[in-house]
Copies of this chain bind each other. A is one copy, B any other.
Amino acid sequence: MSRPTIAGVARAAGVSVASVSRVLNGLPATEEMVERVQRAVQELGYVPDARARSLKVGRTFQLTLAVADVGNPVYVTMMRAVEEVVSAAGYRLVVTTTGPDVVDEVALVRGMARGYADGLLISPIRVDEDLVKSIRECEVPVVVAGNVPAKAGVDTVRANSPKGMLLAVDHLVAKGRTRIAFLNGPADTVPGAARSKGFTEALKAHDLEPTAAAEATDFTFTAGRVAAPGLLGVGDEKARADAHLPDAVICANDLLAVGLMHELAALGLRVPDDVAVVGMDDSELAEQCFPTLTSVNLGSAERGRRAAELLLARIEDNDRTPRRIVVQPSLSIRRSTP
């Protein structure tokens, strides 16, 4: 005995399948009709088939969220916000991890043409011509949480990293720190490039020279630890004697910052007394780590929320002109800076 279909319900209720469908979708019908159908539905335990419905109406009521790394707490923040918006609108969320390669992202975007989701919200870490092209040609609506060229003709919601960098540098300078270093993630990524540029500009605005800079191989905790010694000139006694040791480090995200702090502790350097540390993303990790981390809030929750809203809006009306929203940063000051 397999699950009942709408035809079974129609038979049990002694009405036509069209009437059953109408009642189920809340279209006008007489008292009695509604009553009979509902009883039959109850009795048979009928539940409409999402697959069949999807085929007919051309919608799956699913949205895909693609991120590079589910382990990055900034995506947790974003995912929470997205999930809240889309589930309120009656959609389910399909979460996909793309990994660090742009080819995987392209494959994902192309694959959307299969129609298993009604829209895609992607936060690409690397962007190239192919990706832009695939997004432009994508069969389903796409919203990018991040930075892609305007010619992609797609809704975007992005952070303002340079402004965020400036907030961080302002704060450090106000506290008397001038030997500021930068721990970046891979510079060939979108956030990596933006933050690097922002850092340089922000220092220039204060007439400062970078004290040191390093590039971790990933935006992860481990990569942060690995890259830290190089940044701090460990093993280079001359540099340290010359007081070239930075008195503050800005990190391209919170995970890198936490990795760095572990290395600082291992070297016997105190945070913030010897070295102040600033993270970016203001993720949950920033208040969980010790000392709590001063972090640039790039508005990940808001970006997630607004990106989800844009996506829903575009699904309603695919002809609207693409919007490019920029979310303004703020600084969450905690204990890792004086």
Contact = CB atoms under 8 A, between A and B. Distances in A.
Interface of A: 3, 47-52, 54-55, 58, 60, 62, 70-71, 73, 76, 79-80, 83, 92-97, 110-111, 113-116, 139, 221, 255, 258-259, 261-262, 265, 284-285, 287-290, 292
Contacts of A60: 51, 116
15 contacts: A3-B113, A3-B139, A47-B114, A49-B55, A50-B114, A51-B55, A62-B116, A70-B76, A70-B79, A80-B97, A94-B94, A94-B95, A261-B290, A285-B285, A289-B290
A290 B54 CA distance: 49
Contacts of A49: 55, 114-115
Nearest to A57: B51
Contacts of A3: 113, 139
Nearest to A60: B51
Contacts of A115: 49-51
Contact of A80 (B62, B70, B284): B70
Of A48, A50, A58, A94, most B-chain CB atoms within 10 Å = A50
A122 to B, nearest CB: 15
A273 to B, nearest CB: 15
A209 to B, nearest CB: 31
Ranked 10 nearest A-B pairs via Cβ: A50-B116, A50-B114, A47-B113, A51-B54, A290-B290, A95-B95, A51-B55, A55-B55, A94-B94, A52-B55
A292 B258 CA distance: 12
Number of copies: 2
A194 B62 CA distance: 36
Contacts of A54: 51, 54-55
Nearest to A139: B3
A116 B92 contact: yes
A23 to B, nearest CB: 17
A80 B70 CA distance: 8
B114 A284 contact: no
Contacts of A284: 71, 221
Contacts of A70: 76, 79-80, 83
A110 B48 CA distance: 12
Contacts of A52: 55
Contact of A93 (B95, B113, B292): B95
A271 to B, nearest CB: 10
Nearest to A114: B50
A55 to B, nearest CB: 5
A265 B290 contact: yes
Nearest to A94: B94
A114 B48 contact: yes
Of A51, A58, A96, most B-chain CB atoms within 10 Å = A51
Contacts of A51: 51, 54-55, 58, 60, 115-116
